[in-house]
Amino acid sequence: MTYKVIAYTYRATWVNKSNYKYVMKYYKYIDLDYKIFAEKMKSYIFSNGEMFKTFWTQLDSDLILSNIPETSSMFKPYNINVMNISITRSFNTNSLLGLHRDYSEAELRINIPILNCEKSVTNFYYSTVDPTLEILANGIPYLDYNYKNCTLVDSFCLDRPAILRVKEIHQVVANANYLPRISCTIDFKENIFHLFE
């Protein structure tokens, strides 16, 4: 995947130049016993395919918590409780598209790979230009950015669970040979900043 190599090279350039202006921690991998949850969630998604036509689908948290007990039990070691659970399904393979900030109450969310995430890259950007508010077909709002106004500042691969700063500009670029790319994104009743440090 050429775009992944380019992304990491760019990140190294920032570090070498000590350009502290843009240095920020955008993500952090987190230890999580998530494999059983991911398998059960994949089955749930495949058996309810119609629900997952769009990029972002908010699930009924109570329903998921009662049907997939691992949803809460995997976070027990961290003493945090799930509030909202959503599924993101990405077909974007163009590294110039899909730059956005989540229109989210939560600053940090934990993302869990479900399908083909290990073949994708998540990029973070910086911009001084204001975004446009866009609404998905299912009513979910997000803040859209034009690639031309943004500077790539960090990248990572969601090949394991990670905490993400979702209010910073980010983008998922999937691999055309591995579609769709599906992940689960969760926010919590508690502030989870202490897990991000």
* Interface ranges with Fe ion (CB under 5 A): 102
Contact in structure between 55 and 90 (CB atoms under 8 Å): yes
Taking the complex as a whole, how short is the minimal distance between the CB of residue 95 and Fe ion, in angstroms? Answer: 15
CB of 29 to Fe ion, least distance (A): 17
| 121-126 and 100-102 strand pairing | unpaired
Smallest gap from residue 47 Cβ to Fe ion (A): 25
Looking up tokens 């960090």, which residue turns up?
Answer: 154
β-sheet with 151-156: strand ranges across: 132-135, 141-144, 100-102, 169-173, 121-126, 151-156
CA 190 to chain centre: 19
Rounded to 5 degrees, what angle do the CA atoms 99, 100, 101 make? 150
Q: Tell the smallest beta-carbon distance from residue 17 to Fe ion (Å).
A: 28
Residue number with CB closer to Fe ion (13 or 151): 151
Residue number, 102 or 187, with CB nearest to Fe ion: 102
Nearer to Fe ion, 102 or 154 (CB): 102
- Minimum Å distance from CB 38 to Fe ion? 19
Tell me whether residue 18 or residue 144 sits nearer to Fe ion (CB atom): 144
Residue-wise DSSP of 94-159 = -TTS--EEE--S-SEEEEEEEESGGG-EEEEEE-SS--EEEE-TTS-EEEE--GGG-EEEEEE--S
Determine the residue with CB nearest Fe ion: 102
- Is the previous residue joined to 141 through a cis bond, with omega within 30 degrees of 0? no
The neighbouring-strand residues paired with 28 are: 163
70 vs 196 by CB, closer to Fe ion: 196
Q: Give min distance, CB of 39 to Fe ion, in A.
A: 24
Residue 72 or 104 having the CB closest to Fe ion: 104
